[in-house]
């Protein structure tokens, strides 16, 4: 499925993913994790699209095969700002790339929250298996959980 990058559509994506997970045989105890992880991944994609490519849809693929329920959330925002990421860390030692200011009041680096790092950690804590891939086409977050329906 794909949807316009608006926050209101994240709720719908969560509901659809949870319903498909239930029908795929994901244990009831894991459905909240599916809902939260899909919501976080979709929220990240919506935020990136609103900033970099608001006309492009967010894509969500839901599959249930081989005893696994899998969700892949893909955004295309990286292709619009990928040149900066591909260039590598800044020449001043890379502190901005790590979310740090060059120096605090005492001359020590000051760590700031890097947008999205916490969200990825949340997703990794909720999903049974997570794979995050940055490509020239965008960022893809693949999450999966065990399901009762195994292929024969």
pLDDT, tens only, 96-105: 333 444 444 5
Least confident stretch, 24-28, 75-79, 132-136? 75-79
Tally of CA atoms within 13 A in the half-sphere of 136 that contains its CB: 1
Confidence band, pLDDT 50/70/90 cuts, at residue 12: very high
Cα angle value 113/83/74 (rounded, 5°): 70
Residue 47 makes CB contacts below 8 A (sequence gap 6+) with none
Helix (H) / strand (E) containing 73: strand 68-75
**Position with higher pLDDT, 11 vs 111:** 11
pLDDT, tens only, 37-95: 999 999 999 999 999 899 999 999 999 988 999 999 999 885 444 433 433 333 334 33
Token pair listed for 58: 């967010």
């Amino acid at each position: 499925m794909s949807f316009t990058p608006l926050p209101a559509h994240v709720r719908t994506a969560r509901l659809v993913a949870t319903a498909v997970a239930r029908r795929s045989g994901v244990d009831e105890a894991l459905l909240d994790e599916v809902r939260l992880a899909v919501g976080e991944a979709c929220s990240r994609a919506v935020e990136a699209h609103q900033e970099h490519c608001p006309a492009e849809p967010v894509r969500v693929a839901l599959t249930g095969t081989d005893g696994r329920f899998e969700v892949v959330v893909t955004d295309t925002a990286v292709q619009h700002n990928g040149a900066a990421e591909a260039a590598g860390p800044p020449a001043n030692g890379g502190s901005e790339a790590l979310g740090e200011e060059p120096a605090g009041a005492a001359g020590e680096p000051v760590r700031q929250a890097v947008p999205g790092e916490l969200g990825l950690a949340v997703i990794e804590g909720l999903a049974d298996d997570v794979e995050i891939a940055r490509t020239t086409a965008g960022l893809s977050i693949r999450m999966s959980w065990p399901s009762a329906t195994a292929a024969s």
